[in-house]
A and B are shown apart, each in its own frame.
Chain A
Amino acid sequence: MIKIQIDGTFYEVKGDRNLLETCLALGFDIPYFCNHPSLGSVGACRLCAVKKFADADDKKGRVVMSCMEAVTEGMRISVNDPAVKTFRAAVIEGLMTNHPHDCPICDEGGECHLQDMTVMTGHNYRKFVFKKRTYNNQNLGPFVQHEMNRCIQCYRCVRFYRDYAGGKDLNVFGSANHVYFGRHKDGILESEFSGNLVEVCPTGVFTDKPLKKHYARKWDMTNAPSVCMHCGLGCNIIVSERYGSVRRVMSRYNGSVNGYFICDRGRFGYEFINNPDRIKKIQFRPSKNNNLQEAREVSETGLSEIFKSGKVVGIGSPRASLESNFALSALVGKNNFFHGISGKEQKLIQKAVSILESGIAHSPSLKEIEKCDAVLILGEDVTNTAPMMALSLRQASRNKTLGIAAKLGIPKWNDNAVREMDQDTKSPFFIASSFSTKLDELADEIYNAAPGDIARFGYSIASAINSGAPVLIHPDEKLQNRVRKIADALSAAENPLIVTCITSGNEDILNASANIAIALSTAGKKPSIAIAFPECNSVGLSMLDGGSLDEAADTISKNGADTLIILENDLYGRLSLKNADSIFEKCRQIIVLDHLMNETAKRADILLPASTFADSVGTIVNNEGRAQRFYNVIQVAEPVKESWRWISDMVKISEKNNDYTWDKFDNVVASLVSSYPVFSGIKEKMVSADFRFFNEKIARQNKRFSGRTAMNANISVSEPKPPQDNDSPLNFSMEGYKGDPPSSLIPYYWSPGWNSSQSMTKYMDEPEGHLKEGGDPGIIIFSNKNKSSVDYFKNFPDPFKAKPGELLIVPVYMIFGSEELSSKGETIAERISEPFILFNEKEITKLQLIENEKSKFIINQVVITAIVKHDNKIPDGVAGLSVLTAGMQYTDLPDLGKVLST
């Protein structure tokens, strides 16, 4: 610890961050713009000035920028010195010479860091009497609104977009006082992380464009802590609501998961909740001869008969909460509960989870991924399947540079200095993939091959690391040299990471990854394996007992089923048309619980409106094995109910087992934990609905929430009673605990004087640190078994050989379009491409296809029409087909296919 003196008081600090962040962590309000804990500091805005004294006798001191000062033993500074206070106000005054007076109509107003800093410095009276500078704005696509006149040139946008996230198409142009931040011309921002500009920008230059369509001020929105549903990483989010619709999603800080950022799918994917196709009523299908259609309501006797006598089969879902899945399994019994994913996917996920649980490798958090010093990616395109993992990997690629900088005495936070000092070095970074990926630009070695060959590549790396591993040596000497290079780099690293895949549908790649981890462990290393699980609760679901969809189909076709209950799942996105149809044909009665109309919902005899993550409480488990809780932000509106509550009603009707009727969320959790002790942490460590903080619930609404009495005045002038929430310790009102709530219950960020999301820092032990009051949310479910129990995998696949006239079609996942729910939001829909198929150019010529034109292909009897595009990294005999949940019939990939001759 280092001792420093601030305005006469001594403090003990760690000293690894810059002076500004050190002071912020101590609770000082030093205004700043260009500093960002994850981006470091560059000294551009000059707002964070403090006085630094040479020694105890120095009375004069000198002005320094606290963001550019290292903290040193005995340092003596003043934050409140009159000279620096005047200077800071003058910096704001300078910025205000050009900043427009449009706060009342600016989307940022009320949560604007510039407003906060202006108030903080005390600048109010305007002396500048001349004309302001104006700019033209650009159309940057559907996500981000551009209003350059508001720009205060802090350079944060380009530093995030380019330096941190690797974007290319946003830059700074011009000089002097006509510096311009934008694209070279109008156009869609290409980065998967562009939405973060909304939060990174300290004022209203980059704002949330979908929010603009249904705008509400920060203080007028009801908020809840939530978890992103659009991939397996479980990034923490804050969901905001007004008048019953979700208005926006912002990132919620979790120092172990997503940090300050989220991807665009996570930020803008919520719009499916507001989709007009939402199922909001109980619907009956007038078909077959069931006795329910006439009743037009859930007939207790009818269902009761079914549940008592008939066979009921339940199909769960990896996009539904643990609690809802468990409720269904409790209703139908473990033997009749199926996971709702294909047998192949289930096997891959269970294998992946068993590898992570075996202890042969650590399952790293996103933050831990950032610290890895050598990376090998086998077969996964994380930018599209788990975008935030790609962002973490980008940071990991800088670790070698940071190490060199540290040796030269340049701290990590001195961002430009680090980037200038070392412009070429990258941490060892290797990619094996069937097609080109965005992270290729970071890689030292790229091996492009068919999935089976990627597995062989992995096996050979394992055997090059440790001679005990099953030996696979490539006859191609050049290739074997690359294998050796990778093996050496992984062996030399302190924290080697293997990113492996489920989405490419190849179990051998998982096995090969495990072999590399075992080889590294045997060599005394502590390897990590990171896996992008396909859906938000793939991992949680896999920990419940239950068969696969294929097994469900088998059971149903063999024994038939009276009733099939499908939980939040579209089987037509997981099974071929024929197989899905066969399931439906064999069942007398089909009950579907879901949010949105889809092919499965269309076939329901009884369609029950299930609440989404925004109007329910639930727990999901992410790729790391971290169970996290999402909370309801919308008051669930009858007849919409949480799936587990619908199922509880069914249990009641069935008169089967009263242990499985629940009127509160916590009761479901209790049942879950008693059946599955592996989840005991969820009950013990996560807060229950009874939890009170200093005897109070946590308010979902800001202290300044306005119009509670006026919101519904057009309907009734009397103030409605705030709804009771028995499922969470949060209140649907502004009444509640006034301070910082426990970390897992932060509904919005606010601190006196800090109205923007920059107030996040106030909730942490230090900037970019961990949340106070409970640490980073989430409970690790994985238990680490004894590593000696895992043996090397030995069965190598044969090398891939292209056969004439036959193509190996591999899946190409897309950040926009491959995930079901987000695709149903209107904004994301604008970014979804048409179905496409990738070949190398030689192959296009050979197959006599025409680039950029549609062609037909046949894969396992399914005819696919897709636009032909080229990607020269695709090997001969292989094609990459876009995976889209809409506009394309499902087909299981990888599979063999061919061009359909006309």
Chain B
Amino acid sequence: METPLTEHIKENRPPLRLSDYEKVGGYRGMHKALKEMAPADIISLIKSSNLMGRGGAGFPTGLKWSLVPKDVPGGSLKYLIANADEMEPGTFKDRYLLEGNPHQLISGMIIAAYAIQARKAYIFIRWAYKKAEIIIRNAISEAYEAGYLGNNILGTGYNLDLYVHSSAGRYICGEETALINSLEGKRGLPRAKPPFPATSGLFGQPTVVNNVETLCWIPHIVENGAEWFTKLSITGEGGTKIYGVSGRVNKPGLWELPVGTTLREIIEKHAGGMKDGYRLKGVIPGGASTDFLTEAHMDTRMDFASVRTAGSRLGTGTMIILDDKTCPVAFIHNMIKFFALESCGWCTPCREGLPWVQKILESFEEGTAKTEDIGILEFQTQYMGPGNTFCAHAPGAMEPLQSGLKYFCDDFLKHIEEKHCPWRRL
């Protein structure tokens, strides 16, 4: 089984330096792209590979690139941004890639920037990823020294500068337009779309924002071709994916597996199954802002389409397990508290709705909830649904709640009947 993204990452060992990485094939894709390919060819290659954004939304990367205007009037700047603001609860795959193999990301960014003809690129990194930031900064210096960044890269006449920006630490800044505002030094508020960043992004210029894992794929696809990429997966979506599991399993962690690996295989084989005495009650498949899956969904193939069919989203592919010894209401309450705190405060449903939901869930925990509160919660999940809010933050927050109400309604009711949390000893 091929693991292109992680094969050169060894735990308990510093990441490969540029020269060592080149010895094992690093930057070959970059050489090929810049020397042998026209920007348009790279975009069509990525399009044909059907690479879908690994940040969680699954938007086709090639299509995103192709929306960037070819000729900007007045020859103004275009930008590429790597979204390394990984703040999705339960998600740590980008950290693994950043800390484990920074040159893979940098070479991917050089190709991506070349493909859209960006002259400036940024890595917008989560403030808490201090170690990753140091590693990335060192790697960037190496890349400048090697002539892979700066002016006239590989003698092609192409110039690219790459900057690292350590974020101030807001979940919403992982949303690409809030990220752009934040990078500009403004409040981290999402922007209205349209216009999309491809036409009006950073400083109003055409901009592409890609997730770290997405960008890490680019050199491999350039080097090995679209067909190779497609064949890596079990289902048709192509590639491998870094899947992760946290919760009461025997071996929590992350693994690079072919796209389409079943939920069962990930949990039972790779994560070693549930710990003794714990039963799986539910799974949040891709970070906190996705719907619960249950035991009934264990044979779901973990790709974008199949998980959607199962009623959830693949998201970041890093799942959190709810076990039978954990109160599902408390589990959801914990996530809602996070989302309420991380609301940017721009639109009404999110700003006012999430704290209300949070307070109701708290009242469940305290045993003061009433039956009609279930109705209020159900209404709030629709009220904060997609399209009703300015961005996807509140709809995402509602996903675990709406599916929780569906799958664990009895548990909610028990809180009301017993006037306390059944999981908590009196």
Contact = CB atoms under 8 A, between A and B. Distances in A.
A91 B372 CA distance: 19
Contacts of B231: none
B348 A94 contact: yes
A63 B383 CA distance: 11
A176 B342 contact: yes
A410 B200 contact: yes
B387 A414 contact: no
Contact of A416 (B191, B341, B389): B191
Contacts of B194: 409-410, 417
Interface stretch (A420-428, A579-587, A601-609, A700-708): A420-428
Contacts of A179: 345, 351
Interface residues of B, number: 38
A697 interface: no
B128 interface: no
A62 B187 contact: no
A582 B75 CA distance: 70
Contacts of A716: none
B293 interface: no
Interface in A84-128: 87, 90-91, 94-95, 97-98, 127-128
Given A176-B344, A417-B191, A421-B200, A94 B352 contact: yes
B188 to A, nearest CB: 8
A97 B356 contact: yes
A43 interface: yes
A175 B170 contact: yes
B383 A174 contact: no
Contacts of A670: none
A423 B203 contact: yes
B204 interface: yes
Interface in A38-56: 42-47, 49
Interface in B172-202: 181, 184, 187-188, 191-192, 194-195, 199-200
A1 interface: no
Contacts of A324: none
B354 to A, nearest CB: 8
Contact of B376 (A62, A127, A410, A416): A127
A177 B340 contact: yes
B346 interface: yes
Contacts of A421: 195, 200, 204
A153 interface: yes
B349 A94 contact: yes
A179 to B, nearest CB: 4
Nearest to B202: A420
Given A63-B387, A175-B345, A410-B200, A42 B356 contact: no
Interface in A195-254: none
A49 B379 CA distance: 17
B352 A414 contact: no
Contacts of A155: 346
B347 interface: yes
B348 A176 contact: no
A689 interface: no
Given A176-B340, A177-B345, A94 B356 contact: yes
Contacts of A90: 349, 379, 383
A846 B88 CA distance: 63
Contacts of B372: 127
Contact of A91 (B341, B343, B348): B348
Nearest to B345: A179
B355 interface: yes
A899 B354 CA distance: 66
Interface centre among B188, B345, B359 (most CB of A within 10 A): B345
Given A91-B348, A153-B348, A172-B187, A414 B340 contact: no
A68 B188 CA distance: 20
B388 interface: yes
Nearest to B391: A43
A408 interface: yes
Given A95-B352, A153-B348, A176-B344, A87 B199 contact: no
Interface string B377-389: 0010001000111
Given A127-B376, A408-B199, 16 more contacts: A42-B192, A68-B192, A94-B349, A94-B383, A95-B352, A152-B348, A175-B345, A176-B345, A177-B355, A179-B351, A408-B200, A410-B194, A417-B195, A420-B181, A420-B204, A421-B195
Lowest 7 A-B CB distances belong to which pairs?
A94-B352, A179-B345, A421-B200, A176-B343, A421-B204, A130-B359, A175-B345
29 contacts: A42-B192, A43-B192, A46-B389, A49-B388, A68-B192, A94-B352, A95-B352, A97-B355, A127-B372, A127-B376, A128-B356, A130-B356, A153-B348, A153-B351, A174-B345, A175-B188, A175-B343, A176-B343, A176-B351, A176-B354, A176-B355, A177-B343, A179-B351, A408-B199, A416-B191, A416-B192, A420-B191, A421-B204, A423-B184
Interface of A: 42-47, 49, 62-64, 68, 87, 90-91, 94-95, 97-98, 127-128, 130, 152-153, 155, 172, 174-179, 408-410, 414, 416-417, 420-423
